């Protein structure tokens, strides 16, 4: 008898007889989480679709994109169906969870709709385009009892995981300050549109530029690495060079220089740029009382420690994904694992909100020319 695992996620998993023909993959006996993917651009093509496809506990139910040729391409590669609308996907009772992989503007409304329809959601970053919308998403998750996870995958890279372990061990003493940066030549060569017409440059759809694309990653990473919340920022968020289709400067930021201070006083610099036309930089340095930790500064050794006494340690561990070199992010496995085990998602809506607050505080600081304090109801 063919068997499948009960979809009663969050409760004890039961083996029950298969109900009809499941869209099982070749050689697979059990289907745990049936997933729909909304938005079929680059992040779906390079990450969500292949990573769900290779997860033994997930099955891709189908895809939706308003540009149907994009969902059809995904269906051809990974199976499932090309839904005609988001509504069709969300009313499909066989769908347990969805990935929201659209332009930023649609993240909140689609996520809330999906949660209300009883689906678990993995939403790409930035989780929303306003703090209020992010709060509504968290409320919708709470009210529906479904999971909301945000795609802050930087936490999952080998060097960041190792760095966190070392920092938590206390070997490096107290964290004093940091410098974290994310820069590359811009999203126009990455986005499915492959031109300066990309939504990433359009204020209405993106709301934030390099800060929403890159800064949000580093805001989440720093909060997680230092184990503390950022409570004050002062920043310059700028549009310096990136041009739109008519040769005019784009409507959103392409660079930002931000000073962040945490609740316990750890102070550092977060910088982002879409105008680094050389080699992508995704590096972080933590200056601690017993030495310095450098992450992704040296391609040969992704993690280096220089101790106060001059001794050095070099770790030859996995490199980070770049736009040109996509490797498995692990975010999908983490999402599916939390659903299968019925545990809260490792990177919560509250995490997404805290990072978003840092980005909006930096934008406000830049506009007002003053430092901005950040309040969190949960610290």
Ligand X SMILES: NC(=O)c1ccc[n+]([C@@H]2O[C@H](COP(=O)([O-])OP(=O)(O)OC[C@H]3O[C@@H](n4cnc5c(N)ncnc54)[C@H](O)[C@@H]3O)[C@@H](O)[C@H]2O)c1
Residues that bind ligand X (CB under 6 A): 38-44, 64-67, 70, 101-104, 106, 124-125, 151, 153, 190-193, 198-199, 213
Distance from C-alpha of 13 to C-alpha of 346, rounded to nearest angstrom:
20
* Between 188 and 304, CB nearer to ligand X: 188
Residue nearest to ligand X (CB): 41
Distance from C-alpha of 170 to C-alpha of 290, rounded to nearest angstrom:
9
* Between 38 and 305, CB nearer to ligand X: 38
Minimum Å gap between C-beta 151 and ligand X is: 4
* Between 250 and 372, CB nearer to ligand X: 250
- Residues whose CB is less than 8 angstroms from the CB of residue 364 and which lie 6 or more positions away in sequence, other chains included: 372
* Between 14 and 279, CB nearer to ligand X: 279
Distance from C-alpha of 333 to C-alpha of 325, rounded to nearest angstrom:
20
Minimum Å gap between C-beta 39 and ligand X is: 3
Distance from C-alpha of 286 to C-alpha of 293, rounded to nearest angstrom:
5
Minimum Å gap between C-beta 333 and ligand X is: 14
Minimum Å gap between C-beta 100 and ligand X is: 8
* Between 172 and 347, CB nearer to ligand X: 347
Minimum Å gap between C-beta 279 and ligand X is: 18
Whole-Å CA distances, 267 to 76, 163, 226, 245? 49, 18, 10, 39
* Between 98 and 141, CB nearer to ligand X: 98
Quick count: other Cβ atoms within 10 Å of Cβ 333? 18
Minimum Å gap between C-beta 77 and ligand X is: 15
Structure tokens at 367: 């506009």
* Between 193 and 228, CB nearer to ligand X: 193
Structure tokens at 54: 């290779």
Minimum Å gap between C-beta 339 and ligand X is: 19
């Amino acid at each position: 008898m063919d068997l499948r695992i009960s979809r009663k996620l969050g409760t004890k998993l039961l083996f029950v007889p298969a109900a009809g023909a499941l869209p099982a993959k070749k050689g697979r006996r059990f289907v745990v989480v049936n997933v729909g993917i909304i938005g079929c651009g680059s992040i779906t093509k390079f990450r969500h679709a292949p990573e769900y496809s290779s997860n033994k506990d997930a099955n891709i139910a189908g895809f939706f994109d308003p540009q149907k040729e994009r969902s059809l391409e995904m269906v051809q590669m990974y199976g499932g169906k090309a839904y005609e609308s988001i509504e069709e996907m969300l009313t499909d009772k066989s769908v347990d969870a969805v990935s929201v992989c659209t332009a930023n503007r649609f993240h909140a409304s689609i996520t809330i709709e999906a949660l209300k329809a009883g689906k678990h959601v993995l939403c790409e970053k930035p989780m929303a385009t306003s703090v209020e919308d992010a709060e509504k998403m968290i409320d919708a998750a709470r009210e529906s009892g479904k999971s909301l996870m945000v795609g802050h995958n930087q936490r999952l890279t080998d060097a960041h995981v190792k760095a966190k372990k070392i920092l938590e061990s206390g070997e490096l003493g107290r964290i004093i300050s940091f410098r974290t940066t994310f820069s590359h030549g811009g999203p126009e060569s990455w986005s499915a549109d492959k031109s300066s017409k990309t939504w990433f440059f359009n204020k209405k759809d993106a709301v934030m530029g390099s800060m929403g694309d890159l800064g949000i990653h580093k805001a989440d990473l720093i909060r997680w690495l230092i184990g503390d919340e950022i409570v004050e920022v002062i920043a310059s968020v700028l549009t310096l060079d990136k041009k739109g289709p008519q040769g005019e400067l784009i409507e959103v930021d392409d660079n930002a220089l931000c000073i962040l201070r945490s609740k316990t006083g750890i102070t550092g610099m977060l910088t982002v740029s879409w105008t680094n036309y050389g080699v992508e930089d995704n590096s972080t340095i933590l200056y601690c009382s017993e030495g310095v930790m450098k992450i992704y500064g040296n391609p040969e050794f992704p993690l280096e420690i220089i101790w106060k006494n001059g001794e050095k340690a070099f770790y030859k561990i996995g490199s980070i994904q770049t736009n040109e070199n996509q490797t498995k992010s692990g975010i999908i496995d983490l999402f599916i694992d939390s659903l299968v085990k019925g545990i809260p998602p490792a990177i919560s809506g509250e995490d997404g909100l805290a990072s978003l607050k840092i980005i909006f505080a930096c934008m406000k600081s830049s506009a007002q020319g003053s430092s901005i304090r950040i309040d969190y109801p949960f610290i």
